[in-house]
Chains A and B, each alone.
Chain A
Amino acid sequence: MKSWGLSFWLIILWLLAAVLSQFMVLDITHIDLEKILQGPDWNNWLGYDDLGRSVFNRLLDGTWTSCIVALTVISVSLITGTLIGTASAYAGGITDLVVVRIIDIFLAFPGILLAIALAGIMGAGIENVIVALSIVGWVGFARLARAQTLSIKHREHIVAARSLGTGHLKIIVKHIIPMLTTPILIEATFGIASIIIAEAGLSFLGLGVQAPDASWGSMIRDGTRYMLVAPHLVLIPGTALMIVILSINLLGDRLRDWLDIRSQLRIQRES
């Protein structure tokens, strides 16, 4: 369980860095043409990028980007997706059929392409990345929520509640949603990791965050141009990205194990 500790603290560090970066007067735009592509020196421990800007400062600025995109998208996708999926499964009939088809169409759509197309229409930039990823992201939650709701719908305590005349909304909120918490939470944790990857991927393809704002993905993409002469431009943001994603995935794993044990204990207690 050492992993729990380390990954947890790393994520806290990431969040702190993100918040702090907005308060610090970071000069991410200071250009020093003399220092183009130079490696670490006493002033800047992480070196300089292709315009002589401090890699450290830009890295820090990138934490904000990854943070804000991930948290916003996951919240929007989670809420939208869960509501739609639950409501659709609960309502059943034609509504459900239509929603399933819509979900299928979204799923048959390569997520990247949709994000690219949307970025193209709306223009690139952080806000549009958030919108595009949310549009792609709600589907996963909807499918999960729907599947779970379908299996819960016919359980005895739900049927009992219905026969007692409890309103639909109350049933959904009090009975169904709590049972979804575990799988949704786990999906959300891994979802955050995949959103960070997706945002970085879009920035890598040139569609996400635009110059001169910094995102780890665009830093990696810019860095690959100079791999021959300045590998630190790829390795530094790449390592940061990997550490954050790894920590989140580890946390998700621990969370799942922990929640699984809890639900197993609950089942044992109930039986």
Chain B
Amino acid sequence: MIAFIASRLISTLIVVLGVICMVFLLIHFIPGDPVDMMLGESARTVDREALREALGLNRPLGVQLWSYITSLFQGNLGTSLHHRIPVSDLLAERLPATIELAVAALLIAVAIAFPLGIVAALKKGKAMDKVSMAVSMIGVSIPNFLFGPVLILLFSIWAGWFPVSGRDGWSSLVLPAVTLGTALAAVLSRMIRSTLLDVLQEDYIRTARAKGCSKVQVVLHHAMRNAMLPIITLLGLQLGVLLGGAVITETVFSWPGIGKLMIDSINSRDYPVVQACVLLISLSYVFVNMLTDLAYAWLDPRIRFGDR
């Protein structure tokens, strides 16, 4: 188990370093100058070079990359060129919003997907199955930059129940979380259905039924336990999709999270912030993957207790 964790950590580190370098090089090669973005149209140009020098932007790219990596290891993420505050402060300000959105979306997804998927599996072939799968199919087919505006149209503009965008109060969380969550729910419910169906075919299920366990017991205790493995794996992988979907959802709803911060920073060529956002997103993605592997290993007694 320790060896397993260690090897995962090392490969994770390599991947993360690779990501950092790639992002750094990419963002610096994009045309467009952050100093211009900062100073704006009408500002005089006399001290542009001085500002560039003060920010360290005139050093060779390799030097800048090295300096960035070394300060990373000291826990310094740099200062935002645009907002003039330390990047770590900016991230700390924005991160709760994204976490709030992601958790709410996840809860909604689970709340919709599990019942939908389980019922569909149990009533396979019948009307309930067809309906649930149709609903989830539609959910998969509507991208969130479409679903979001439609929800806004229906529930904000016409009905006036929820605010259109921004983040103030619980009611403003509803529409973005529903947008993000339903997309995940659609995928999840199909996965739950198919995994459960596979598990229900297994011998031990038939044995449990033959033993006289009620259907509910069978499903909950035996089937779901074994289905959890692939479901958790999928959930972990879906986090990447969730984070990607969060970028668009945050843009649609002007939700002040990391995703929107990243888009805004790319547009203003705020290099330190872009690098930090990407670092954060890929780190969390990689971290969740690692957690998934660990959970997988723990849930599967074959791995937990080693081969015997």
Please report A residues at the B interface, Cβ cutoff 8 Å: 101, 104-105, 107-114, 116-118, 120-121, 193, 197, 200-201, 204-205, 217, 220-221, 223-224, 227-228, 231, 234-235, 238, 241-242, 245-246, 249-250, 253
Contacts and interface: CB of A to CB of B under 8 A. Distances in A.
A250 B266 CA distance: 36
Dominant secondary structure at the B interface: helix
B30 interface: yes
Nearest to B140: A249
B23 A113 contact: yes
Contact of A112 (B141, B247, B252): B247
Contacts of A205: 248, 251, 263
B137 A253 contact: yes
Contact of A220 (B11, B32, B145): B145
A103 B240 CA distance: 15
Nearest to B18: A105
A113 B278 contact: yes
A235 B140 CA distance: 18
Given A110-B247, A246-B138, A201 B240 contact: no
Nearest to B156: A227
B22 interface: yes
Contacts of B30: 117, 120-121
Contacts of B157: 227-228
A235 B26 contact: no
Contact of B149 (A109, A111, A227): A227
B15 A197 contact: no
The 8 closest A-B pairs by CB, nearest first: A120-B30, A246-B141, A245-B141, A117-B26, A105-B18, A108-B282, A238-B146, A197-B143
B143 A234 contact: no
Contacts of A104: 11, 15
Contacts, number: 111
Contacts of A246: 137-138, 141
B145 A109 contact: no
B150 A234 contact: yes
Nearest to B283: A108
Interface of B: 11, 14-16, 18-19, 22-23, 26-27, 29-32, 137-138, 140-143, 145-146, 149-150, 152-153, 157, 240, 243-244, 247-248, 251-252, 262-263, 266, 278, 281-282, 285-286
12 contacts: A104-B15, A107-B240, A108-B286, A112-B248, A117-B266, A118-B26, A121-B29, A201-B145, A204-B145, A221-B145, A234-B150, A241-B146
Nearest to B251: A205
Contacts of B247: 110, 112
Contacts of B278: 109-110, 113
Contacts of B19: 105, 108-109
Given A113-B262, A120-B31, 12 more contacts: A105-B15, A109-B282, A110-B278, A113-B278, A118-B26, A120-B30, A201-B248, A204-B145, A228-B157, A242-B142, A249-B141, A250-B137
Contacts of B145: 200-201, 204, 217, 220-221
A225 B26 CA distance: 31
Given A110-B278, A117-B27, A235-B150, A204 B22 contact: no
Contact of A101 (B18, B26, B153, B286): B18
A114 B262 CA distance: 12
A213 B147 CA distance: 23
A231 B153 contact: yes
A193 B141 contact: yes
Contacts of A235: 150, 153
Contacts of B31: 120-121
A234 B145 CA distance: 10
B281 to A, nearest CB: 5
A218 B31 CA distance: 23
Given A121-B29, A201-B248, A116 B266 contact: yes
